[in-house]
A and B are shown apart, each in its own frame.
Chain A
Amino acid sequence: MIEVKGLTKSYGDFLAIKDVSFTAESGEILGFLGPNGAGKTTTMRILTGFMPATSGTVLIDGLDILTNSLEARRRIGYLPENPPVYYDMRVEGYLRFVAKLKGVQRQSLDEAVELAISRCGLEDVRYRICGQLSKGYKQRVGLAAAIIHNPSVMILDEPTIGLDPRQIIEIRKLIRELAKERTVVLSTHILPEVSQICQKVVIINDGRVVLEKRLDEISKEGSLEDVFLRAIAKESTGGLLAEAELEEVEAGRSTSGSL
């Protein structure tokens, strides 16, 4: 379970996110949406303890990410935007390293690595060097590293980016499976993905949460696309800017629609 209360992060004068609050229950997939530069990655980095917020709190299964950091971090599986693989390591060696780093006990190390490899479909590339893998495989290695220590909370920054359609389906299936007994927060640009696998949606724009709703409530109001566009358009005060943004998003929608 993740509880986020009043997160604010400023870099000097620039306010990246402002008063962001939401909760994600166990067994729930939360879709974290927003246009580019809205503050998604910043929020996720704060959730994972990579950097602290200027103010506000994050509780991971009731543990504060700042004051109880090691214990909280042990429960998090995090896939950053760019999968953090070492280019000079082999897939298996890398996963073994990550498992040790995440505190997997020595006797269950082999098991954890095997499970992650089979779950993410990495059997064919296990002895390949990470740097030589395609984008899609790197993404899967990153995902395998994120689940290797059986975390109770998973934070995935655009997990399906760079994958081919078949892999996307597989990874979505995997995420859905993992979410049964876990809390999953995933950020994405692909709206159909959200309607397929998420139970809850948080939309962030300009560093502020503009919508937090369960997906079944949203479907009563109309399609997710319309809700998303309305939510982010309402926020932008300058009419011209709103229109420009709308067009941008619509362009994005048409490409994602053709996928």
Chain B
Amino acid sequence: MRNTLTIAGRELQAYFVQPVAYVVMTVFLLLGGWFFFALLRRFELVLEMYAALRSTSGMESLNLNQAVIEPLLHNLAVVLVILVPAITMRTFAEEKRTGTYELLLTSPIRIGELVAGKFLAAALFVLLMVLLAGIFPLILVIFGNPEVPVMVSGYLGLAFVALCFVSVGLFTSSLTSNQIIAAISCFGALLLLYVISWPAEAGEVEFAGLLRYLSLPEHFSQMARGVISTQDIVYFLSLIAIALFLTQRSAESVRWR
């Protein structure tokens, strides 16, 4: 446990000393703000339209959760597909390149502790990002009356998505000593997780059910809608567990060669 915290502490420090943390957070929040602004403008426009048409049923069907927060969460998840590879690419690849991997592997720590430490640091970092993006619903709560539990569920979903992405990123970084290869392969894997169910949506194909189950947005959209089901939580947790297990094996693999 102490070793895990030692590793995590150094990792977190590295995020903030190399200005990766600030750049990534700025981009994330700037884009988030832009999406929020655009969605809110559209919400206003549609509301004015219904008002002009005097359509009460239309106005009743319109709500902040569905029209603003839900699409915002999906957009933020897509931004994470691009940003998380940049966060995790250095975790193992840089250590291998600079030779500090030799220090870690000859120290009296287990590989599992090493992976856990790195995951903990990256996880805290992305959770901080998700937390800061909580400013948008906060604004809505102050100036409007959205349903808070639904938003909490959605942000919980986004947090799970971020953690899944981070664990996949750790895995791809552990495969190589080249940060660019780590980033690109992580990006590819995350995008694939995002679009894996497309063939199933285009029509009946074999394994359609399986593809839909594997698809990350499928589970995320449930939570963004405010539905927290064990099935989705199990999906997220097992994705994290599998990716971290593979990372542990891959980090250890220098010992097998």
Contact = CB atoms under 8 A, between A and B. Distances in A.
Nearest to B103: A84
B99 A97 contact: no
A101 B3 CA distance: 6
B220 to A, nearest CB: 34
Interface stretch (A48-56, A175-183, A207-215, A242-250): A48-56
Interface residues of chain B: helix, strand, loop or mixed (majority)? helix
Contact of B10 (A73, A84, A85, A86): A86
B106 A48 contact: yes
B107 A73 contact: yes
A97 B106 CA distance: 14
Contacts of B13: 89, 93
Interface in B5-34: 6-7, 9-10, 13-14, 17-18
Contacts of A89: 10, 13-14, 17
A98 interface: yes
B108 A80 contact: no
A74 interface: yes
B106 A50 contact: yes
B14 A84 contact: no
Contacts of B254: 50-51
Nearest to A129: B17
A87 B97 CA distance: 12
Given A97-B10, A100-B6, A71 B108 contact: yes
A88 B18 contact: yes
Interface in B83-116: 98-110
Interface string B193-220: 0000000000000000000000000000
A1 interface: no
B100 A74 contact: no
B100 A86 contact: yes
Contact of A85 (B100, B101, B255): B100
Given A50-B102, A52-B255, A101-B3, A88 B107 contact: no
A45 B254 CA distance: 11
Nearest to A102: B107
Contacts of B9: 97
A74 B108 CA distance: 5
A88 B17 contact: yes
Contacts of B3: 100-101
A257 interface: no
Interface string A96-112: 01101111000000000
Interface in A47-82: 48-52, 70-71, 73-74, 76, 78, 80, 82
A84 B108 contact: no
A145 interface: yes
B101 to A, nearest CB: 8
Contact of B104 (A51, A52, A83, A101): A101
Contact of B255 (A51, A88, A98, A101): A51
Contact of A145 (B103, B109, B257): B103
A164 B141 CA distance: 66
Contacts of B54: none
A6 B102 CA distance: 23
Contacts of A82: 98-99
A206 B17 CA distance: 44
B165 to A, nearest CB: 24
A50 B100 contact: no
B120 to A, nearest CB: 15
B40 to A, nearest CB: 39
Contact of B108 (A52, A70, A83, A86): A70
Nearest to A52: B255
B105 A49 contact: yes
22 contacts: A49-B105, A50-B106, A50-B255, A70-B109, A71-B108, A73-B106, A80-B102, A83-B99, A84-B98, A84-B100, A84-B101, A84-B102, A84-B103, A85-B100, A88-B18, A89-B14, A97-B9, A98-B103, A100-B3, A100-B6, A101-B7, A101-B103
Q: 3 shortest A-B CB distances, which residue pairs?
A: A84-B103, A74-B108, A48-B106
Given A84-B101, A88-B18, A100-B3, 5 more contacts: A50-B102, A73-B106, A73-B108, A76-B106, A80-B102
Interface of B: 2-3, 6-7, 9-10, 13-14, 17-18, 98-110, 254-255, 257
